[in-house]
Amino acid sequence: MAAGRDSGRVCQGHGRRDRGSMSHFPVPLRQAFRWHPPLMVVAAAMAALSVVSLVGLVVDDRILVGAPIWLKPFKFAVSFLIYVATLAWMISLMQRGRRVARRAGTVVAVTGFIEVGLIAMQAARGRQSHFNIATTLDTAIYAAMATTVAVLYAGTIVLAVLLLMQRIPDRATAWTLRLGLLITLVGMGLAYLMVMPTPEQRAVGVSTIVGAHSVGVPDGGPGLPLIGWSTTGGDLRVPHFVGIHALQALPLLAIALTALARRFPRLRDGDVRLRLVLVAAAGYAGLVALVTWQALRGQPLIRPDGVTLAAAGLLVALVAGGVLVALRRATPTSTNGIERVEVYA
């Protein structure tokens, strides 16, 4: 019944596409720009900064906190490019509270542009952007970054609330959007663990650096290639990264399940796909919790101890069990063929 009702809602309109319908990717660039122009302008700016940062990595051999000085702007530019483009797409799906959503998106665009711009500026100056209170200017820049992040976080919360209010035809897609954004908020919030003074900094008292992303070891030590996550201690960037990219991972899962439904009849049932994405969201949230716990214990991501491995094995077993239950409880599908579910544009 639910699958049939969803299918009918998607197909209504005799070929006319509205905001409640979906169309397949890839989406023309001009059409994508209309999702939310301010966010897409910032996405273009982040793409340009990523290219500039790549050039900087080649021609600028300066090292800051154990890493090439342009690596951090590059990582932030790429990550924020993906983030704002995904938000723009999500806002284009909204029918309820659309005006508020567009304003919140503009707030995210402006604050994000300032945040990443300040990171790039500090790299050009040869200065550390985060945790740096060495001079009056460094302190002012770090304070401005803290403010923009707080406003960006508030704007994202507004969008999360609005997504919970939407009536999106395919329920599996709807819940990946909602839960993906909620987990992303958790991932963003985990960044605040990094701004707290470390025990060593508290022991010293006055310091030019307040906060760190490494746990149990100083920042700037040995790290994984490109991403730089510590290989000798815990690293709070790991749960932060995993959490914020739930915004892409879970919706991509819904798209993949829809595509696979053409080959696997059981996935044609909207209820089955819904249960699978709920299991996946729970598993993803468990993964965020697991890597946070691991980092706070001062343990490198690539060197888990027996307790961490046991917890990871339990999480995998629970997710696998949930998947089996979700598939086993499949309801009979309609004889009319595959439910028409596409991707919003």
pLDDT at position 96 over 90: no
Segment 290-331, tens digit of pLDDT? 999 999 999 999 999 999 999 999 999 999 999 999 998 544
Segment 232-285, tens digit of pLDDT? 999 999 999 999 999 889 988 998 998 898 898 899 898 999 999 999 999 999
Count of other CB atoms within 10 angstroms of residue 303: 11
pLDDT at position 338 over 80: no
Instruction: Give the per-residue pLDDT at 206.
Output: 60
* Its pTM surpasses 0.95: no
Q: Would you place residue 197 in the very low, low, confident or very high pLDDT band (cuts 50, 70, 90)?
A: confident
Segment 211-232, tens digit of pLDDT? 788 898 888 888 888 888 999 9
Q: Would you place residue 19 in the very low, low, confident or very high pLDDT band (cuts 50, 70, 90)?
A: very low
Q: Would you place residue 87 in the very low, low, confident or very high pLDDT band (cuts 50, 70, 90)?
A: very high
When the pLDDT of each residue in the chain is averaged and rounded to a whole number, the result is 85
pLDDT at position 14 over 70: no
